[in-house]
Chain A
Amino acid sequence: LAKTTQPISMDSYEGQEVNITCSHNNIATNDYITWYQQFPSQGPRFIIQGYKTKVTNEVASLFIPADRKSSTLSLPRVSLSDTAVYYCLVGGADSWGKLQFGAGTQVVVTP
């Protein structure tokens, strides 16, 4: 079961790009990498999912190197409303039902 490691917290100013790196050294071949955002007293919200290389959607980009032992979530031009906890989750068919959230990264965006 892939364990993930993320920075505990990151601070940023509005309009800047925020990059959060997650380490998952023992990722399995069938595992996907998924990032979630959580605001206080709310359920996590899906941000992006990827398997390799780069994935981009309307809110973020996900960069995954060839060895897949880490991944980087990139949030372009953050705003105050991006202040939240971000979780990296690694899992797939073989670990289905055993997915565990790590500690997450608290991102604080200030004016």
Chain B
Amino acid sequence: GAVVSQHPSWVICKSGTSVKIECRSLDFQATTMFWYRQFPKQSLMLMATSNEGSKATYEQGVEKDKFLINHASLTLSTLTVTSAHPEDSSFYICSAANPGQGTYEQYFGPGTRLTVT
């Protein structure tokens, strides 16, 4: 399967600072990327969907001004958590897909553990 990477794999930041997480599809062109958040012992919660070159579509309850998503190329999407607070501490996972290839499979990154102190 296709390979998706995330960077960093974990990050600790102070409350009020911003953190950027990168998601890269290494061996295919991802026309669509998804961002999820997962709290301990819970399922993945979809935060937003981004298509290359257009604005992200956010799920209800997700603040678009707090979670900035940029999908500037077919291989890179970034999630910036602005003015992070302890309640933003979570496991953030991205996935990449190219439904134009006839499959609706998502290729997931390894995740980024964010801890806000």
Contacts and interface: CB of A to CB of B under 8 A. Distances in A.
Interface of A: 32, 34, 36, 41-46, 49, 87, 91-93, 96-104
A92 B110 CA distance: 24
B103 A49 contact: yes
Interface string B91-117: 101010001000111111111010000
Contacts of A45: 108
B93 A34 contact: no
Interface SS of A by simple majority: loop
B104 A101 contact: no
Contacts of B91: 41
Interface string B31-73: 0101010000001111001000000010000000000000000
A102 B43 contact: yes
B43 A96 contact: no
Majority secondary structure, B binding face: strand
Interface of B: 1, 4, 6, 32, 34, 36, 43-46, 49, 57, 91, 93, 95, 99, 103-111, 113
Contacts of A103: 43
A91 B104 contact: yes
A43 B104 contact: no
A45 B105 CA distance: 10
B104 A49 contact: yes
Contacts of B99: 93, 96
